[in-house]
């Protein structure tokens, strides 16, 4: 006897149970019903274990349906909320002797994936979700990492939902592309100006944009800022090289001028000593004095030239320092551009939010990167929430709103199984449940009513929230492993003798 807790098999019509476990000798159903249009907005799928089919949805509704084959007895495909973790066109199984798994899209790091395979009208895999060939190939070409896949005991169509507790985008000012004050002309004379921003001080403030638009603008601003910084650094480096050459020449000129001052100073000392020793007529004394005066004039001229050479060297040193400062400023702008580019890259992936009743915390991830987690208040915390997945499928009527759909897998019910053998092999089929299916622990709207998120946390979420983002409410915590992954909520399976 098996009980599924969290998600479970509910009472099914008899014909549905027969379809679920029909023999492989029976004629398979028609090929997949795949539409020809490209997906609009985020793509997400719901696998029905009872019906052995998958339905993929986009912002317009049903995108495509296909038959599937899930795990056979003893290799049950886990129910839960998953995301696509990895894609590999030519994957081979790491568990089952290298068995080929073409067009593999991994759902867990423990061996569950969507992939091309044999699809009879009953569960036949070792836990994976097999897809028909054409559908597997087409699906592989349109899905992205992080897109959600729900595996449920029965078909669970998404429903449009509007609720005040669903997070909303926060409008943001367009990012700066640079700083007009930081130009090569301002920091180093002789360098052509390279503005790091096209904005002007007298221009009006930029309009507010949604987080998705902000991420795109931030990426463009990072590229422009990085290009301008590189140009400024190149110009400043060229100037610094020129000034270093000029400084070397100025050093040589100063050395020559100071050497001339020393030489003339020695000559003046010699002339002065000679004049002191002269004891001759008046004409001879005048000649000596004239010679001393001439040497003194030459010394004054040499000192003037030496002072001018030193002034030139000082000016060149100052210009070199300014050029070097310009290099550092441009390098800092380049570092800022790299930071902006990394921030833009992180914002390029829709966020995932998980609110767990088990931990009473709210968790936010950008792809597989944890951003933050905070305590959250859940009313009547002893009462189950159920599991509810909400997906932002398109922008609302204005930039500060999103349209959401909700998926609430069914509640648990205990099902007994009967095993018997026949000429066609071992067969497993469910008996009629001893009691009616349990009601859902909570509707999606009622579960949202019980959540209280602090305003500052709503703002932090809103800054990164756009189409493709998801919110999960669950009684359990994410089933994280040793590898980075998005939130994963598993139905817990209890096996009893």
Identify whether 115 is a catalytic site residue: yes
**3-state class (DSSP) for residue 378:** strand
**CA-CA distance, 266 to 276, in Å (whole number)?**
15
Residue of 53, 115, 126, 163 marked active site: 115
Per the residue annotation, which of 91, 128, 388, 420 is the catalytic one?
128
Largest CA distance in the chain: 149
Cα–chain-centroid distance for residue 150?
Answer: 23
Q: Where are the beta strands (DSSP E) in 206-300?
A: 208-209
In 3-state terms, what secondary structure has residue 389? strand
Q: In Å, how far are 31, 97, 295, 354 from 477, measured between CA atoms?
A: 38, 33, 95, 8
Structural tokens at position 166: 């669903």
Q: Is 126 a catalytic residue?
A: no
Neighbouring C-beta atoms of residue 113, cutoff 10 Å: 24
| CA separation for the pair 33, 55 (Å, rounded) | 9
Is the Cβ–Cβ distance between 128 and 106 less than 8 Å?
no
State the Cα–Cα distance between residues 312 and 255, nearest whole angstrom: 13
Q: Which is nearest to 135 in space by CA: 83, 63, 41? A: 63
Partners of 426 in the β-ladder: 421
* Alpha-carbon gap, residue 132 to 53, rounded angstroms: 11
Q: How many CB atoms lie within 10 A of CB 7?
A: 28
Q: Could you tell me which residues come within 8 angstroms of residue 345 by beta carbon, excluding any fewer than 6 positions away?
A: 219
Rounded CA gap, 157 and 45, in Å?
A: 10
Contacting residues for 482 by C-beta, under 8 A, at least 6 apart: 109
The span from the CA of 157 to the CA of 194, in Å, is 56
Catalytic residue numbers, as ranges: 115, 128
């Amino acid at each position: 006897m098996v009980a599924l807790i969290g998600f479970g098999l509910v009472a099914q019509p008899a014909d549905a149970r027969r379809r679920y476990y029909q023999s492989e000798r029976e004629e398979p159903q028609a090929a997949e019903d795949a539409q020809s249009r490209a997906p609009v907005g985020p793509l997400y799928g719901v696998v029905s274990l009872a019906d052995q089919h998958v339905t993929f949805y986009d912002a317009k509704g049903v995108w495509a349906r296909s038959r599937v084959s899930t795990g056979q007895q003893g290799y049950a495909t886990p129910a839960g909320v998953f995301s696509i973790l990895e894609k590999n066109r030519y994957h081979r199984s790491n568990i089952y002797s290298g068995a080929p798994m073409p067009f593999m899209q991994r759902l867990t790091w423990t061996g569950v994936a969507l992939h091309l395979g044999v699809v009879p009208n009953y569960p036949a895999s070792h836990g994976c979700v097999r897809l028909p060939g054409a559908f597997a190939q087409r699906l592989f070409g349109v899905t992205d990492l992080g897109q959600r896949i729900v595996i449920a005991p029965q078909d669970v169509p998404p429903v449009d939902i509007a609720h005040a507790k669903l997070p909303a985008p926060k409008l943001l000012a367009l990012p700066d592309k640079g700083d007009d004050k930081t130009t090569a002309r301002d920091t180093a004379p002789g360098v052509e100006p390279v503005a790091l921003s096209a904005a002007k001080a007298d221009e009006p403030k930029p309009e507010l944009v949604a987080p998705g638009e902000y991420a795109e603008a931030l990426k463009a601003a990072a590229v422009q800022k990085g290009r301008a910084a590189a140009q400024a650094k190149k110009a400043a480096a060229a100037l610094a090289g020129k000034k270093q050459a000029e400084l070397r020449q100025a050093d040589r000129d100063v050395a020559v001028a100071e050497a001339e001052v020393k030489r003339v100073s020695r000559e003046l000392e010699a002339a002065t000593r000679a004049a002191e020793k002269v004891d001759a007529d008046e004409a001879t004394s005048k000649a000596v004095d004239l010679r001393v005066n001439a040497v003194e004039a030459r010394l004054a001229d040499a000192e003037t030239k030496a002072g001018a050479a030193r002034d030139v060297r000082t000016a060149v040193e100052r210009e070199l320092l300014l050029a070097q400062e310009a290099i550092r400023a441009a390098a800092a702008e380049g570092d800022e551009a790299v930071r902006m580019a990394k921030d833009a890259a992180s914002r390029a992936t829709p966020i995932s939010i998980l609110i767990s009743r088990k931990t009473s915390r709210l968790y936010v991830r950008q792809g597989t990167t944890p951003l933050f987690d905070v305590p959250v208040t859940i009313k009547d915390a002893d009462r189950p929430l159920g599991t509810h997945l909400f997906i932002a499928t398109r922008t609302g009527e204005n930039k500060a709103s999103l349209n959401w759909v909700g998926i609430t897998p069914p509640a648990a019910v205990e099902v007994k199984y009967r095993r018997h053998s026949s000429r066609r092999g071992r067969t497993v089929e469910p008996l009629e449940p001893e009691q009616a299916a349990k009601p859902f622990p909570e509707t999606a709207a009622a579960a949202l009513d019980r959540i209280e998120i602090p305003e500052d946390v709503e703002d932090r979420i809103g800054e990164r929230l756009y189409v493709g983002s998801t919110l999960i409410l669950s009684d359990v915590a994410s089933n994280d492993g040793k590898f980075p992954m998005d939130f994963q909520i598993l139905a817990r399976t209890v096996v009893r003798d």
